[in-house]
Chain A
Amino acid sequence: MNDSKSPRNRVAAHIRELPKSGIRDFFELVMSMDDIISLGVGEPDFVTPWGIREATIYSLEKGHTSYTSNLGLLSLRQQACEYVRKDFGVSYDAESECIVTVGVSEGLDLILRAILEVGDEVVYHEPCYVSYPACIKMAQAKPLPLVTTEEDGFSLDPAKLKSTLTDRTKVLLLNFPNNPTGANLSRDQKKEIAEIAVAHDLIVITDEIYAELTYGERSPSIAAFPGMKERTVFLHGFSKAFAMTGFRIGYACGPSDLIDAMMKIHQYSMLCASIMGQEAAKEALKNGRRDMESMKSAYLTRRNMIVKRLNNIGLPCVNPEGAFYVYPNISSTGLSSQEFATRLLKEERVAVVPGTAFSQEGEKHVRCAYAVSTSDLETALDRIKGFVERVRSENKTSPGFRKHKKDKVAIAN
């Protein structure tokens, strides 16, 4: 048989080369188990506030079931731009500088495909959301990971950024507050990063999906800093702040030439985001703030709980300044992140995500999402405590134990 026609080669080279997620087996193991407490879910545990659901039902009753403009409902874009102006400190023209997307995921894919050519480099920080390096590769560009460290509070050190850039670096991709670490950027860091972006003529993509869930001082978007608006694409959406993951609505704001380029891809590939989701998003912006604030304060109490307990258990963690994740260091248990997560799941029925899902350097960490009820969180933390104590006593009594245990629970990759 001609090799070029064999099934393996039907897949395009740049897709074939995308790494399979290293934790796919772990995900499947979690999916196969019942009656677990999962701290592995990257979405709010709240149902979408009733006011938003009710408005969506009403829009269906009125028969709003058609396509919308490719860019999205103008009324939604107007509301979104007003929201961004007030809450993020940067003004956009709703008609030419804003596009409604199917979640931030689509927005990210659109902007990367719109601006990248073969050989271009994108600097992004790791640990990060799992799709970043893959999306960069799908746009046929080269991902340039910049590892953020515990010592820096998982924030982006401007000096390290500077030294990572090369002549081929075209884009800087930011995600603060960050999934999986909960880290944020201070105003000063944003200012320094902005200066570097201007000096190196970078396009900055800022994924601010967790912005509302900022627990300390909330500074303006990096797009609001001098010289930045014309080079920044601001990505945002409704999934996290308004507990609307299933509605799949996001938006991008940026210079009109870039929004226009994104629109070209979007109109041919997606046509438009669902009108039901867009109607829901309008209601969220109109009347959702109270619900959003009350969900945020619930996340904050849980964050306080989980951070204190994990530190007490001896799994030190950087205090997350946003989002609903904490990224404890588990190296004191002597287990790798996959071992830790697999044993915790099997022995205590608690799911966390191994740090290796988010970074090649994630071996010392796991991600715990605290988007669960306080009672589940209490139980999960009690179980983690019991687990860690057991692992430590095993390590004491049998120095060779770890190796043995590793073999026993190793999961095929």
Chain B
Amino acid sequence: MKSDNIEKVLGLLQQNARLTSEQLSERLAISVDEVDAIIVECEKTSVIRGYYTLVNEDNFDRQRVRAVIDVAVEPERDGGFDRIARNIAKFSEVTDVLLVSGNFDISLIVVGDSLQDVANFVSSKLAPLRGVRSTRTHFMLKKYKEAGFTFEDDEDYERLKITP
């Protein structure tokens, strides 16, 4: 299993996780068996952690409320921010958790059905956690780009249909 083939398979799957092994094989000029072996190996070693679908909720009637929340945390003698970050990640309302540099230590994204829902999560679940010093909540108003995909199409521009 060549490491640059692994990188190529991962690169294409990151752009489109629905590509079949046959399509990957055709586009990368490697055998279907090798593609399958790479994917199995990457799943087994957790290099591939999952596959999910990017949904543009603006074009869908079930819009949910999202907030980016910065959290300042008291680091712990053993493990620094790890324990609290892991505990925050366990809440089902939380979709993303990042350890960051700067004035705050942890950034997370929370999703709820309403503004109130998210506010309740912050006041009753997040802020009271042991070690959390302060939080700053930014409600998300609009998403323009995620994981390399823009959420609005550029205006179509017609190229010449045929050129030498």
Contact = CB atoms under 8 A, between A and B. Distances in A.
Contact of A41 (B11, B157, B162): B162
Contact of B159 (A41, A129, A309): A41
Interface string A306-322: 00110000000000000
Interface size class of A (residues with CB under 8 A): 20 to 34
A40 B29 contact: no
A351 to B, nearest CB: 6
B12 A301 contact: yes
Nearest to B11: A297
A353 B26 contact: no
Contacts of A30: 161-162
A389 B11 CA distance: 34
B161 A305 contact: no
A59 interface: no
B26 A308 contact: yes
A291 B98 CA distance: 27
Interface string A178-206: 01000000000000000000000000000
B163 A40 contact: yes
Contacts of A131: 164
B42 interface: no
A302 B29 CA distance: 10
A30 B163 CA distance: 10
A129 B164 contact: yes
A308 B24 CA distance: 12
A41 B164 CA distance: 7
A116 B12 CA distance: 49
Contacts of A159: none
A351 B27 CA distance: 22
B161 A41 contact: yes
Nearest to A45: B159
Given A41-B159, A45-B159, A301-B12, A357 B164 contact: yes
A38 B161 contact: yes
A45 B163 CA distance: 12
Contact of A130 (B12, B28, B161, B164): B164
Interface string B20-57: 00000011110000000000000000000000000000
A304 B26 contact: yes
A47 interface: yes
Chain B CB within 10 Å — which of A304, A351, A353, A358 has the most? A304
Contacts of B152: none
Contacts of B11: 297
B27 to A, nearest CB: 4
A73 interface: no
B27 A374 contact: yes
Interface residues of B, number: 15
B161 A36 contact: yes
A12 to B, nearest CB: 23
Contact of B162 (A129, A297, A309, A353): A353
B160 interface: yes
Interface string A371-407: 0001000000000000000000000000000000000
A47 B12 CA distance: 20
B28 A40 contact: no
Nearest to A39: B162
B27 A353 contact: no
B161 A31 contact: yes
Contact of B164 (A42, A47, A301, A309): A42
B15 to A, nearest CB: 9
Contact of A304 (B28, B157, B161, B163): B28
A335 B160 CA distance: 26
B146 interface: no
Contacts of A308: 26, 29
Interface string A21-49: 00000010011010010101111010100
Interface in B119-157: 154, 157
B24 to A, nearest CB: 9
A27 B26 contact: no
B75 to A, nearest CB: 36
A304 B164 contact: no
A203 to B, nearest CB: 25
A340 B164 CA distance: 17
A130 B162 CA distance: 13
Contact of A43 (B12, B26, B154, B159): B159
B28 A31 contact: no
Chain A CB within 10 Å — which of B11, B154, B160 has the most? B160
B143 to A, nearest CB: 18
A145 B12 CA distance: 42
Interface of B: 8, 11-12, 26-29, 154, 157, 159-164
6 contacts: A40-B162, A41-B160, A43-B159, A45-B159, A131-B164, A301-B28
